Structure 1
Amino acid sequence: MGTDVDAFLGQLARHLRPQVKKLAGLLLQRLNGEAPELWEDADIAALTLDETAQHVSAFLDLLETHPGTSPPDVPPAALDIGRLYAQRGIPVSRLLRVYRLGHLGLLERVQTEAPRLTDDWRMIHLATMRLVSIGFDYVDRSSEEVVAAYQEERDHLLQRRLALTNRASKRIGTTLDVTRTAEELTEVCTEDFADLVTVDLFDSALHEPGTGSPEALTQRRVAQRSVLDDCPESLLREGQAHSYPDGSEPVRALATGRSVLHHVAGAGMPPWMAPSESHGRVLRALGLHSVLLVPLHARGDTLGLVQFVRHRTSAPFDEDDLLLAQEIVSRAAVSIDNARRYTHERSTALALQRTLLPRHTVEQSAVESASRYLPAGSRAGVGGDWYDVIPLSGARVALVVGDVVGHGLHAAATMGRLRTAVRAFADIDLTPDELLTHLDDVVIRMQREESPDEGETSATCLYAIYDPVSRVCSLASAGHIPPTVVTLPTTGEATRTSGVAELSEVPIGPPLGLGGLPFETTEFELPEGSLLVLHTDGLIADRTRDVDLGLAVLHDVLTSAPDSLEETCDRLLTALLPGSPADDVALLVARTRALDPDHVATIDLPSDPAAVSGARRFASDALAAWGLEELSFTTELIVSELVTNAIRYGKAPVQLRLILQSTLTCEVSDASSTAPHMRRARIFDEGGRGLLLVAQLTERWGTRHHRGGKVIWAEQALPAGGGLHDVFK
């Protein structure tokens, strides 16, 4: 009987063979309303009729085959539709429902045709039972293969999305630049996720952190990228300001912070996507069909909006794509926020740094100087490098360069505090080693005052004093690179360009902040016109070059240094820093001058009060030789008071020295370390008014100590026309 049933089913299949397309159409009518995705998705709709006809043919082939033969393969179109369902994010349960409904409809149609071939109800009953068995076997086997194709495509999509997430984490936020970070986001997401990506930021979000506001609707197109040349999908250009219409989906997304998945239905194009009819035609011609709107949100601030658009990619965005876009944008938002915060902090630190550094090159009588400061070009940020030129008594000058460990506002503020401390210590004329010892104490106190979160404060410093009278340079280093000295050739040698650059042998003490370790002052004489080059380590060392090579390049440049110190600075920076420096750089170049001996008058005095009158005559004669007779009266009073104090309270030997430079300086030295001080004399006191008188007659006065005693000095302003003419050789 089984053979008869098989024969009857074969006859039934041959009877239905010419009606394959008709049966397929009837089945699709049955599915109408049950599976809207079959008609709403253009790609699925294009395959549906063909796939249904292939299923009908495969089932009829199965009815015609004899028992024991291999079943027909699942139609290729069925596997393609399974993959399309996976790509569109349609649940697999809906795909299986379509299969059940479709095959049930096919069984019903075949069963309806059976009575037309026989009136044997027993045969019809047996054939129906066999149809159900064969049909369910076919449904089970084809469903398994289609679901396998669906899952394979789904796994492939997940792998692509994981790969995209991985690429985004590696390639977005590689720099601390807002615009570049936005560009990285568009580059990553247009590779295989979207056909157009735009990034809009609020103008307020581009400036100070914490000022981004959804109510400030003006945005700026920071970056955009398309798979097509010149971004024909967008009317805006990078850097252009714009605002979305009130009540539009982008505005609602920004106001609520919720992402939006928008599908473009037919020819309908929202005004916020196509503000003009001509642009709407362009978008329709491109086939734009879906858009994702994802707000950029970081640390409680809404920074802007990212749009993802698809037109060339046939698969529209789905909910999984929206989640993926949100994850990528969330990471990008943190990077953009970090970048803008870094930019703000860097600009603030740089402004602070430049404010704390000397505004202009200070004209000094002892040296001619030029300087440069370059902030780091890397993400490390502004550091604590500084330089300074400080006038001292006796026509001397202090040259300073230092480097605070670390970067950012803290380093810049610490630099300002240390520079102020150096100037305060320089004002009391400390020797280099004593100054660094006091500065070391300052750093240690700062360490105690600061919280552990701010890190340990440390710094290096080089402090040098140059005396144009003796041409002696005294310096000490606290963990800092020694200066480079360029001396002129002696008379009869080559021209100036043959000067030799050499590293002065300076004992390098410990960095500031360690405490308890000594610093040492080194002294050496410099020929007139020598160059002193002080700098931080950022000038000569980086990741690709060691210090020795950097010093060699520096020496090569200095051996042929031009007369212009400004040009010398430029040549050094060009040779040593062709690109952005990896660390801050402070550079100070000074050319020494020597004071004309005719503008220095010195006399040794006996420790006898009678020597005071001789000191006054000596001062009067010196002023007459310099053409400064009008200063004789006040100068004699100053000399009389200072020499009297030295003889009365100091120790021999006593010396008087007059120095004519930008001011007239009167110095009296003795071997005592006790410093005088002003006091308020009472009405009937016979003494105590001398230093008060000196202070009233001079611009400034003070005391400096040295190993052999002390020097009391006082400076007077020169009369009009009595400036620096012929003072220096």
Structure 2
Amino acid sequence: MERLPTPPGERPDESDASPESAYTATATVNEQGIVTGWSEGARRLLGYVPSEVVGQTAARLLADDVGETARRDAAGRERWSGTVALRHRDGHRLELGLLAHRRTADDPVTEWLLVSAVVGKPRTPGSEALREWTFTQSPDILAIFDADLRLVRANTGMERALSLTEAEMLGLHLPEIAPYPVSNEAENKMRLALETGEPQYVEAYIRPTGVSPDRGWSTSLGPLKDPDGRVRAVCLAAHSRSAEYVARQQMLLLNEAGARIGTTLDIARTAQELADVAVPRLADFAAVDLLDLPQHGDQPPSAPPAGLITMCRTAVRSVLEGSPESLAAMGETTTYPALSPVAECLAQGRGALYEVADPTIARWAAQDPGAAWIREVGTHSVIVVPMRARGITLGVAFFSRHQRREPFEPDDLLLAEELTARAAVSIHNARRYTRERTTTMTLQRSLLPHTLPDQAALEIASRYLPAGTQAGVGGDWFDVIPLSGARVALVVGDVVGHGIRASATMGRLRTAVRTLADVELPPDELLTHLDDLVIHLSADEADMEGAAETAGGIGTTCLYAVYDPVSRRCTLARAGHPPPAVVTPDGAVYFLDVPAGPPLGLGGLPFETMETELPEGSLIALYTDGLLEPRHHDIDEALDKMFAALAHPAPTLDTVCDRVLTAMLTHRPDDDIALLIARTRVLHADRVAAWDLASDPAIVAQARKNATDQLAAWGLDDAVFITELMVSELVTNAIRYGRPPIQLRLIHEDSTLICEVFDSSNTAPHLRRARTFDEGGRGLLLVAQLAQRWGTRHLPIGKTIWAEQSLSGS
């Protein structure tokens, strides 16, 4: 209701209203100027009853012809005010102050609401008394300081806020009244107001005596001028904004929590981050207890247990040194009875706020000796919040106050619930990550070689480091595969991606490499077959997912190398993988210039083989690209560090591996690292014997004799019988089905004797079961029964049939 000054010439209807009363006359007029509403106040003012006015033009009520002028003035405006001359029903003229509002009804029809206040004889005190009462009784702080910035007036609000009377403050400067840094700032602003004549503002909050920092006032300082415009004093007005301040502080705390809670996937650290954020900003003490804290990522129960609840104290923070409120140390178990606040909140699934006099707290303190700290430290207010995420109860967060005098309020409970919810989501993600990582690690370790095979060609050491980031375990792998002829294959690969899919793909590829290695494929052909496999795996995954969600191994890199200790030659091929490093016995370090080749899964591109001779005692280092990840240094610096670590003499290869990792890793690796280091050995001429044989069945006896004599020279008399049978069968098979030239070779490793027969034919023998009356077909079956393992190795020209027998059981 708007009230305007009493219009001149007004004569209210004395028969209807006492001159002591005041009323409001209202009417509504549409856009066409037709009266659509008429109030009782309007009847009293002009004498017309509604039936005489409603539906009629408003112009007939005007004493002057100002309709068009008013219409033009009001056009396009939402409000209009001015003086209008009206004609009373009895004919006399009235000049009224009129306020008009444009409004739109629900139909919608636009109309104007006309309002005029009719004021009778004043019933309120004089304006001077009102102004004095306003100053002294305002709930806000009001004070006046003279030109010397000494207090001359203070209202009740300031007296109450500072617990001082006006008489006690008279003549003092503000810093002398309230000795806080903000008072000095306010006095400087008052001086500036005196000098400039412009209002000043203080953004900080004045903290009165006995009031906590979050209960203050924002302050404005206004110059007081005399009629001549000279500044004579300054008025200080401080408006209570404690609720706004608290809301602002809560918002800042939530923003801080978003940055500080859940920075890692470590469960205990996330719980501690919650406690650190809450103390001292929200509480004087905070603790986090988790249900069945997993050590291996086990899934917690979806509902809290009934009865006595046992949890693990995971995080603690207190404003008191040593956290005396926590009777349980970090990592120890805590128990809560069934009627405790913790058990109630877990059962209800929501937080609760308790005063220390609450019956629930009293009952808990009486039943549980572990709750004695509540009274010992003077706790007066408690908040308990269940930690839940995705329908799973993880534990409970506990907050209390004992040094801050203000008890917790409902807004504090909401804030505690929000902080706890954020921590619960992070802890749930950490549990899930831990569980998935454990599963992936278990899978990957089951697929990687547990022990390196015994063989005489290479001394080998290896290391595998999973990624230390949230990406999880990747698909890096390595393998050592003994081949025929005392040769050994080394393989290192890196599957694209992380997690279970990458580990599963890695297992498939490692199995495929072993299978292809067993059929004695050269490195370039092996990678070609592996490339086809990756393409098929990718197509199968795309069909299963309905879309190519994963690459199925596309982009996987691999390095495959075969070392022959007899010839000291190493044959290598790589598919997009970093080249191996070699350290010669004299300390020279270099990369082998192996043609790069495309990563696996692209298809249609060839792989090339490189062959080199390695001196005895050379080191060859195979690794995945995670070792050279240039995070804190460039790639050249990384290579220099690796070369220096490899070239430094070391007693064992394990020492070399550790030295390389120490030099290269200044941080937890962002990607998996597989490292395989081998030192070459050589089977010298005294361990290898070879004879060229004529393609004549009569030569078989001589071949047996040559083998017998050699075994006698090696002191392997116990192996003569089986070796004679193998030599006879293999040489006879080469003479009968193969082509010259034919060669017999014996290789004596530490615990293995290898018999090889070469011929230039490309036909491969096949093991078959001979029938009762067959005259042949039993020779190869006999070899297979006598040998530990046997097979055929194809060469560019010809083939070699070989058979190994173990000497450890002879």
TM-score (norm 2): 0.68
How far residue 614 of structure 1 moved from its aligned partner, in angstroms, is: 3.2
**2:655 is the alignment partner of 1:567:** yes
Aligned to 2:458: 367
**2:721 is the alignment partner of 1:633:** yes
Q: Which of 517, 532, 550 matches 1:455?
A: 550
SS of the residue corresponding to residue 622 of structure 1 reads helix
CA displacement, residues 472-519 of structure 1 (integer Å, 9 cap, x when unaligned): 111111221111111113xxxxxxxxx111111111222222222221
**2:802 is the alignment partner of 1:713:** yes
Distance 1:3 1:469 in 2: 123
CA displacement, residues 664-685 of structure 1 (integer Å, 9 cap, x when unaligned): 1111122232211111222222
**2:304 is the alignment partner of 1:209:** no
Map 1:57-68 onto structure 2 (within 5 A): none
**2:283 is the alignment partner of 1:194:** yes
What is the number of residues matched between the two proteins? Answer: 601
SS of the residue corresponding to residue 218 of structure 1 reads strand
Change (3 A) 1:54 1:631: closer
Distance 1:4 1:218 in 2: 72
Matched AA of 2:714? W
Change (3 A) 1:623 1:268: closer
Matched AA of 2:580? P
SS of the residue corresponding to residue 586 of structure 1 reads strand
CA contact (8 A) 1:267 1:284 kept: no
How far residue 277 of structure 1 moved from its aligned partner, in angstroms, is: 8.2
Distance 2:654 2:394 in 1: 44
Change (3 A) 1:149 1:209: farther
Q: Which of 576, 583, 594 matches 1:479?
A: 576
Aligned to 1:386: 477
SS of the residue corresponding to residue 193 of structure 1 reads coil
Aligned to 2:34: none
Distance 1:337 1:320 in 2: 26
Change (3 A) 1:635 1:51: closer
**2:479 is the alignment partner of 1:400:** no
Gaps of 5+ in 1: 15-19, 21-46, 58-78, 89-144, 490-498, 723-729
The percent of aligned pairs where both chains have the same amino acid is 55
**2:288 is the alignment partner of 1:288:** no
CA contact (8 A) 1:233 1:283 kept: yes
Q: Which of 315, 323, 326 matches 1:234?
A: 326
Aligned to 2:685: 597
Change (3 A) 1:638 1:240: same
CA displacement, residues 151-209 of structure 1 (integer Å, 9 cap, x when unaligned): x3322222222221111112111100000111111111224222222111011566412
Matched AA of 2:502? A
Distance 1:179 1:199 in 2: 9
CA contact (8 A) 1:204 1:212 kept: no
**2:262 is the alignment partner of 1:173:** yes
Distance 1:5 1:389 in 2: 104
Q: Which of 213, 223, 226 matches 2:315?
A: 223
Change (3 A) 1:179 1:278: closer
SS of the residue corresponding to residue 243 of structure 1 reads strand
Aligned to 2:516: 425
Distance 1:53 1:183 in 2: 41
SS of the residue corresponding to residue 382 of structure 2 reads strand
Matched AA of 1:239? G
CA displacement, residues 618-642 of structure 1 (integer Å, 9 cap, x when unaligned): 2223223222234333323222222
Q: Which of 426, 435, 442 matches 2:526?
A: 435
Aligned to 1:446: 537
Matched AA of 1:350? M
Matched AA of 2:470? R
Matched AA of 1:692? L
SS of the residue corresponding to residue 167 of structure 1 reads helix
CA contact (8 A) 2:383 2:400 kept: yes
How far residue 149 of structure 1 moved from its aligned partner, in angstroms, is: 3.9
Distance 1:4 1:503 in 2: 105
**2:772 is the alignment partner of 1:683:** yes
Aligned to 2:626: 538
Distance 2:712 2:370 in 1: 92
Aligned to 2:108: none
Change (3 A) 1:268 1:678: closer
SS of the residue corresponding to residue 404 of structure 2 reads coil
Distance 1:674 1:342 in 2: 54
Change (3 A) 1:561 1:212: farther
Change (3 A) 1:293 1:48: farther
Map 1:470-619 onto structure 2 (within 5 A): 470-489=567-586, 499-619=587-707
CA displacement, residues 635-664 of structure 1 (integer Å, 9 cap, x when unaligned): 232222222222332233222111111211
Matched AA of 1:678? L
How far residue 210 of structure 1 moved from its aligned partner, in angstroms, is: 4.1
How far residue 278 of structure 1 moved from its aligned partner, in angstroms, is: 11
Change (3 A) 1:319 1:617: same
How far residue 612 of structure 1 moved from its aligned partner, in angstroms, is: 3.0
Aligned to 1:702: 791
Give 1 or 2 for the bigger CA radius of gyration. 2
Change (3 A) 1:278 1:219: closer
Change (3 A) 1:342 1:53: closer
Map 1:96-135 onto structure 2 (within 5 A): none
Change (3 A) 1:681 1:340: same
Aligned to 1:44: none
Matched AA of 1:422? V
Q: Which of 324, 333, 341 matches 1:249?
A: 341
Distance 2:577 2:601 in 1: 13
How far residue 559 of structure 1 moved from its aligned partner, in angstroms, is: 1.6
**Residue range with higher mean Cα deviation, 565-574 or 356-365:** 356-365
Matched AA of 1:472? R
Change (3 A) 1:426 1:660: same
Distance 1:659 1:567 in 2: 32
CA displacement, residues 377-423 of structure 1 (integer Å, 9 cap, x when unaligned): 22222222222221111111111211222222222232222222222
**Residue range with higher mean Cα deviation, 406-415 or 242-251:** 406-415
Distance 2:464 2:405 in 1: 55
Structure of greater relative contact order (alpha carbons < 8 Å, 6+ residues apart): 1
Change (3 A) 1:682 1:213: same
**Residue range with higher mean Cα deviation, 217-226 or 701-710:** 701-710
Distance 1:266 1:338 in 2: 36
Distance 2:536 2:474 in 1: 21
Distance 1:192 1:360 in 2: 54
Point out the structure with the larger helix share: 1
Change (3 A) 1:191 1:51: closer
SS of the residue corresponding to residue 336 of structure 2 reads coil
Q: Which of 624, 631, 636 matches 2:712?
A: 624
Distance 2:489 2:254 in 1: 57
Distance 2:253 2:359 in 1: 31
Point out the structure with the larger strand share: 2
SS of the residue corresponding to residue 605 of structure 2 reads coil
Change (3 A) 1:273 1:201: farther
Gaps of 5+ in 2: 1-120, 137-156, 168-205, 216-235
